[in-house]
């Protein structure tokens, strides 16, 4: 029986030399007892008592596939005590069957491949989960001073020697030590050094760990949390040596609430019906405005209501058409004595294509009933025909139209006035006042007054219903509503005169 004792450090090279010599001498696998370190015989060969084989100094040179060399380099790092005997038995078989490694149906090949895979996984975990702590070092004020770091890691296999070059390449500008129960690696200006395993040292706390944990919290995506998959890639046995893992239980517990918050803050997409409306508008007659329509005022002013509707459907006079669902034209009797002009469509109006059907429209209806004003007998429209908004979470937040947008859409408002020829216009808010009178300032001071358009049509000024909806002072809400109703009563009296 040949007995081979392999060292803890330089194991792979020692096994290769011993295996090459034994195979060259014709020593069969069953006649070799492999040992690792100081004692602990290999279970695969235990109990065998065959006499040593004859020396064979004239034996032919040993040939093995390159794949076996790589496989042996990984398997010798495994912690299984049978690894050396299994490798030598495979080496012995390869002399007669050079293509044996490609036979994955072979039980011995399958076992060796599984061992190699386990070693590669352990090396990956070491690269991912080693956490260095600052242990000081040379005086930082001296030229060329290098800081020193240390880490504790608990690998499954004897992988320190095989993995240390990775850390030497990545952290070549500092001195470091990785301590494990199996083997320790140290790197300094002179290169890599290896020593036997050690007990876990009392490493000091590192100020950068708090920063690293903060970074880890910020890259954590609760929406993609899969606890079992995470623990498969980051087994709990490594957690005690990783500072950021102290935050994991808390982040898991709060993941559902954070996902709900992310959903609430995410930009919303238009509902499916909005796309259908847009498609209908794109294919409607007149939807493809010519270059003159897009670049400036239309050359031909509509002179009939059907022509107005057709022109509005293809309006490209300002950029607001690009994001809005559809244009929202005026609605009501086309011989109405009263014309009510608001600012622009809101979210509800943009989706339905009808003016004043949202909360502001509902408040206007209530106030009109109280004032004795028949809204159904009025033609109601807006100074701007497309919805201007900013996405915020799942909501589309109203944005006030700027002067360019108001003036671009005033062309349509003037056409509506010319076709309708109302006896009175009720202007709701500053934007309507600007489009009708040229002045949108100081609406609260001007409310209740009758001013005139350029062609002499009387315009009664009041606030927009949304102004009342935004009021939060309970003491003034009732008074503001009463003043709004009074303005509508004034409009009813003017119409009755």
Stretch 241-270: mean pLDDT: 76
pLDDT of residue 235: 85
pLDDT of residue 291: 37
What pLDDT, on a 0 to 100 scale, did the predictor assign at position 272?
58
Q: Are 392 and 309 in contact (CB under 8 A)?
A: no
Q: Quickly state the pLDDT bin for 362 (edges 50, 70, 90).
A: very high
Task: Confirm if 165 and 123 have CB atoms less than 8 A apart.
Answer: no
Report CA dihedral (289, 403, 401, 313) to the nearest 10 degrees: -20
Q: What is the pLDDT of residue 151?
A: 93
Report pLDDT digits (tens) over 388-444: 998 887 789 889 999 989 999 998 999 999 999 999 999 999 999 999 999 999 999
Most confident range, picked from 135-144, 208-217, 268-277:
208-217
Q: In 202-220, which positions are buried (b, 16+ CB within 10 angstroms) versus exposed (e)?
A: ebeebeebeeebeebeeeb
Per-residue tokens: 59: 């034996």
DSSP letter at 454 equals: T
pTM > 0.85: no
Average pLDDT of the residues in 342-364: 93
At 223-244, the pLDDT tens digits run 777 888 878 788 888 878 887 7
- pLDDT at position 35 is 93
Residues 6+ positions from 415 with CB-CB distance below 8 Å: 301, 302, 308, 311
365 confidence band (pLDDT: 50, 70, 90)? very high
Token digits for 375? 């809204």
Residue 137 clears pLDDT 80, i.e. is over it: no
Nearest alpha-carbon partner for 15 in 7, 27, 26, 3: 7
The domain limits of the chain are 2-126, 130-196, 208-265, 272-496
Each residue's pLDDT tens digit, 368-402? 999 999 989 999 999 999 999 988 877 898 899 99
Calpha distance 84→76 (Å, rounded): 7
Higher-confidence residue: 59 or 481? 481
Kindly tell me if the per-residue pLDDT of 208 is higher than 80: no
* Percentage of the chain lying above the pLDDT 90 cut: 57
d(CA 91, CA 216): 46
pLDDT tier for residue 51 given thresholds of 50, 70 and 90: very low
Using CA atoms, how far apart are residues 160 and 163, in angstroms rounded to an integer? 5
Fold category of 272-496 in CATH: Uracil-DNA Glycosylase, subunit E (3.40.470)
**Greatest CA separation found in the chain?**
131
The C-alpha atoms of residue 438 and residue 417 are separated, in whole angstroms, by 15
Residue pair 69/91 in contact by the 8 Å Cβ criterion: no
What is the pLDDT at residue 267? 59
């Amino acid at each position: 029986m040949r007995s081979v004792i392999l060292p803890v450090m330089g194991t792979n090279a020692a096994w290769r030399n011993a295996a090459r010599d034994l195979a060259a001498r014709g020593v069969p696998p069953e006649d070799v007892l492999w040992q690792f370190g100081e004692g602990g015989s290999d279970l695969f060969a235990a109990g065998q008592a065959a006499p040593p084989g004859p020396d064979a100094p004239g034996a032919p040179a040993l040939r093995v596939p390159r794949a076996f060399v790589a496989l042996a380099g990984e398997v010798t790092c495994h912690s299984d005590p049978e690894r050396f005997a299994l490798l030598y038995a495979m080496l012995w078989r390869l002399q007669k069957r050079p293509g044996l490694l490609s036979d994955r149906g072979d039980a011995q090949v399958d076992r060796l491949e599984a061992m190699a895979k386990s070693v590669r996984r352990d090396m990956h975990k070491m690269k991912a989960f080693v956490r260095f702590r600052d242990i000081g070092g040379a005086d930082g004020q001296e030229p060329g001073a290098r800081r020193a770091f240390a880490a504790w890691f608990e690998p499954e296999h004897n992988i320190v020697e095989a993995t240390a070059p990775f850390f030497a390449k990545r952290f070549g500008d500092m001195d470091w030590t990785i301590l494990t129960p199996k083997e320790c690696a140290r790197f300094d200006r002179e290169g890599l050094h290896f020593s036997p395993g050690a007990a876990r040292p009392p490493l000091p706390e590192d100020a950068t760990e708090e920063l690293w944990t903060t970074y880890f919290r910020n890259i954590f995506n609760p929406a993609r949390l899969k606890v079992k998959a995470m623990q498969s890639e980051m087994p709990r046995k490594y957690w005690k040596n990783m500072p950021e893992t102290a935050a994991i239980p808390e982040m898991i517990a709060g993941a559902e609430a954070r996902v709900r918050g992310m959903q609430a803050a995410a930009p919303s997409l238009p509902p499916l019906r909005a796309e259908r409306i847009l498609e209908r508008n794109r294919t409607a007659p007149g939807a493809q405005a010519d270059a003159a329509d897009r670049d400036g005022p239309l050359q031909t002013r509509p002179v009939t209501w059907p022509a107005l509707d057709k022109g509005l459907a293809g309006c490209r006079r300002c950029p607001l058409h690009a994001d809005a669902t559809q244009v929202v034209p005026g609605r009501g009797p086309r011989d109405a004595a009263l014309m009510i002009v608001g600012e622009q469509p809101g979210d509800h109006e943009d989706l339905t294509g009808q003016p004043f059907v949202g909360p502001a429209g509902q408040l206007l209806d209530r106030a009109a009933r109280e004032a004795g004003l028949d809204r159904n007998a009025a033609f109601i429209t807006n100074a701007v025909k497309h919805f201007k908004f900013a996405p915020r979470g799942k909501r589309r937040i109203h944005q006030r139209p700027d002067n360019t947008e108001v003036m671009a859409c005033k062309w349509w408002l003037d056409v509506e006035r010319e076709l309708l020829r109302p006896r009175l216009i009720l202007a709701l808010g500053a934007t309507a006042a600007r489009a009708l009178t040229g002045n949108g300032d100081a609406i609260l001071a001007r409310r209740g007054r009758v001013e005139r358009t350029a062609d002499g049509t009387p315009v009664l000024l009041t606030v927009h219903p949304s102004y009342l909806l935004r009021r939060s002072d309970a003491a003034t809400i009732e008074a503001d509503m009463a003043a709004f109703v009074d303005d509508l009563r004034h409009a009813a009296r003017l119409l009755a005169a």
